[in-house]
A and B are shown apart, each in its own frame.
Chain A
């Protein structure tokens, strides 16, 4: 057989077709992958020997030879007539054509473009770029998510809140309860926990943040704190920065704790480092920091003016505490601290007793001031007000001269009338013993009857004299005079009476600085107050500025104790006008309304 093979190749991706004609001879033509085949199909899907082609009964027949088989219209066949059928082997298609050019038969082989080479599958996904979403896309996703969740969502919540009116409002009673609680995303906007002082408005964001993207206004603060006093007398010292200052520039909320923290050191120095620049008439000294140029303390000391009745009238004067110049004030007392604190103790009714500061002094609740010393409670444990005559002890009242005089007189009159007094200086009628009293009758009457009028006069005169002598001892030396200054002074009737000077004790020497004892508890009292060395009660046992500065080293000193202005001084001064007269007016109007309304009912 002589076979004319027409090979038609289509190139991938182009219309170009190549056509080649070859003459093959042999009784059987072999088709397969092997190079030894007459028709070699270099395709892995083709068997080593796939098929044979032969002429049988004038027809060009193809017969399957390998395991792959041949396909006609998609169906597997063992044999096919190429004259009528078109056979597929892999990507090759075979069909017959009428014989020509001297050949016994003509077979056309069309080769389709090779499928994608298997190696291409291996390429592709070897890099992260191929398997992960792009970083640009992720950046968009993350950013938009955050904008949506952390900006959009809470902002929506904020917009839902009703903004209060902007004119002055004064809130009555407690916080609003009808406001919706802040949502979880609204909470994500807060910069820290609210302080306990504001816990009742914790859920009412709009109470302070009245309008979105507006800093908290003074109006919001004043709604509750309507009567808060101003810092300075603005009528006398018009200071622009005071009028325009925001509450929140000093009071920082969202820091937790008991109350909003007051941050004022820089704000204070803004004006007080050169106070005349904002208030030309001010007489305040300028200050830049506590440890630099704080003026010496000015203490409110008790000075006295003697009155016509001999009593001392206290007059408080503020006196500058210069270093090395001891402060003296008039107390009307004779109290040596050193004797009371001496080592080994002092004599007491219970034997020797070692005293210390706490024996008489204690911090008042509130932690600031000390309790004033109280005679009955603190002194009388040792200094008992007892008057002892003829073996009978009597307790005299404190701070009541007339009553003491009366008790003494009564005592001696009674003794004189009863008789039997053993004193050698006593007159005879007083020494004389009386009859026994008759049961059921008034004793004094009974005895008085027993004395003659003359004797009775002698006895009473003696008793009065004796009482006066005793009073001289008690007031002047033994009891009152131990501690107080006391003197005799004629009363309106011209009778000389004992007058004891009451103690003039200053409760608070530093009136402009809010010193608190509580935070200083860990210290020894004597590290500030030199009581063990003080011999006189007139000594003012206050520490000076340098003593404070040894711990409070200035606002910029990290190791020191706190030394901001507000550590000791108040910004809102009690005696000043309210910061916002409008708010205060509304507040007071409401208060008087409330007072009147129950009466109407």
Chain B
């Protein structure tokens, strides 16, 4: 897989990750104590201690950087450390368990750690493709930037508002037959909403799309004068543009949600993991 994402580019941390994993594997297979390979041997303590240190260090890095997408040099290195050390944790922590799992707070610690790492991998995956798609999605919809300090998204939001004003204004020149579709579009066009509709990003049942069809129907039925015809065709054009914009904004919302949904697993479970890790260590050393 070709990863465009800059934060994976650091060779240094890649090699440190590989080094830690290899060293862990060598130590694990080299030491074969009578009670079997598990967390309570010299190597087991070593792997456990190392894993705990990495967990704490990565949590601290996570607090420090907060945002992932930035690509300034130093920060990119920090993210790279986070990713490759996190992946090495899969090896060190799994070997620390000795692959003995049962109903216990010790196994819970491992399970939480794996959830955190897997959600992190999920995060890397979305970051490696989505930002590009997201950028293209909005930039392709831009017709004209009114101000340079506005983002593409802000511009599109402005566009929708402007169209809404135009739609309302158009009604002052058009008979009541056009009022229901315009009202529908103005009042019922939803972008976002609940978790499901944000994540689906679907434009099925979009109010403006319906309104667009209704406006065209009304337009076909009447016998309109010159001035009205001009206004109707403007109305149709605005509706069509608003329909496109709404769909684009919904897609944008979906991309944004996908880009951050993993954090709702990664972050709170990391905190829970730190708590569980402390319980695990306390139990092991004070409750032999």
Query: Are the CB atoms of A131 and B194 closer together than 8 Å?
Result: yes
A126 at the interface (CB under 8 A from B): yes
Write the A31-53 contact mask toward B (1 if CB under 8 angstroms, else 0).
00111000010101001100000
Q: Which residues, 99 to 115 on B, are CB-close (under 8 Å) to A?
A: 100, 102-106, 108
Stretch at the interface among A81-89, A114-122, A385-393: A114-122
Question: Contact partner of A135 among B40, B42, B104, B264, CB < 8 A?
Answer: B264
Question: Contact partner of A191 among B40, B194, B275, CB < 8 A?
Answer: B40
Residues of A within 8 A of B225 (CB): none
Of the candidates B41, B172, B194, B284, the one having the most CB atoms from chain A within 10 angstroms of its own CB is B172
B243 nearest CB across to chain A (Å): 14
A261 at the interface (CB under 8 A from B): yes
Expressed in whole angstroms, the Cα–Cα distance for A214 and B288 within the complex equals: 8
Residues of A within 8 A of B41 (CB): 263
Write the A373-416 contact mask toward B (1 if CB under 8 angstroms, else 0).
00000000000000000000000000000000000000000000
Residue in chain B with minimal CB distance to A131: B195
Write the A200-237 contact mask toward B (1 if CB under 8 angstroms, else 0).
00000000010001111000000000000000000000
A259 nearest CB across to chain B (Å): 11
B263 at the interface (CB under 8 A from A): yes
A150 at the interface (CB under 8 A from B): yes
Residues of B within 8 A of A255 (CB): 35-36, 38, 40
Query: Are the CB atoms of B104 and A190 closer together than 8 Å?
Result: yes
B33 at the interface (CB under 8 A from A): yes
Query: Are the CB atoms of A146 and B272 closer together than 8 Å?
Result: yes
Residues of B within 8 A of A139 (CB): 267-268, 270-272
Q: Which residues, 114 to 147 on A, are CB-close (under 8 Å) to B?
A: 117-119, 121-122, 124-128, 130-132, 135, 138-143, 145-147
Query: Are the CB atoms of A191 and B161 closer together than 8 Å?
Result: no
Expressed in whole angstroms, the Cα–Cα distance for A47 and B192 within the complex equals: 31
Expressed in whole angstroms, the Cα–Cα distance for A35 and B170 within the complex equals: 10
Residue in chain A with minimal CB distance to B161: A119
Question: Contact partner of A150 among B108, B172, B264, CB < 8 A?
Answer: B108
Number of interface residues of B (CB under 8 A): 67
Stretch at the interface among B14-22, B85-93, B143-151, B176-184: B176-184
Q: How large is the interface on A (under 10, 10 to 19, 20 to 34, 35 or more residues)?
A: 35 or more
Residues of A within 8 A of B102 (CB): 192-193
A55 nearest CB across to chain B (Å): 27
Whether A146 contacts B173 in the complex (CB less than 8 A), given A135-B263, A138-B268, comes out as no
Expressed in whole angstroms, the Cα–Cα distance for A562 and B33 within the complex equals: 9
Residue in chain A with minimal CB distance to B193: A125
Residue in chain A with minimal CB distance to B256: A127
Query: Are the CB atoms of A128 and B261 closer together than 8 Å?
Result: yes
A558 nearest CB across to chain B (Å): 5
Question: Contact partner of B284 among A42, A117, A191, A556, CB < 8 A?
Answer: A191
Whether A191 contacts B271 in the complex (CB less than 8 A), given A44-B186, A128-B195, A215-B288, comes out as no
A458 at the interface (CB under 8 A from B): no
Query: Are the CB atoms of A118 and B288 closer together than 8 Å?
Result: no
A38 nearest CB across to chain B (Å): 14
Expressed in whole angstroms, the Cα–Cα distance for A596 and B174 within the complex equals: 118
Expressed in whole angstroms, the Cα–Cα distance for A48 and B169 within the complex equals: 12
Query: Are the CB atoms of B176 and A122 closer together than 8 Å?
Result: no
Residues of B within 8 A of A146 (CB): 108, 272, 275-276, 279
Residue in chain A with minimal CB distance to B106: A191
Residues of B within 8 A of A66 (CB): 176
Query: Are the CB atoms of A128 and B160 closer together than 8 Å?
Result: no
Question: Contact partner of A143 among B35, B106, B176, B275, CB < 8 A?
Answer: B275
> Can you list 16 residue pairs at the A/B interface with Cβ under 8 Å?
A44-B171, A44-B183, A48-B179, A122-B160, A127-B257, A128-B257, A138-B264, A143-B275, A192-B38, A192-B100, A193-B102, A248-B288, A255-B36, A255-B38, A263-B35, A266-B42
- B residues with CB within 8 A of A: 29-36, 38-42, 100, 102-106, 108, 160-161, 164, 168-169, 171-176, 179, 182-183, 186-187, 189-195, 198, 249, 253, 256-257, 260-261, 263-264, 267-272, 274-276, 279, 283-284, 286-288
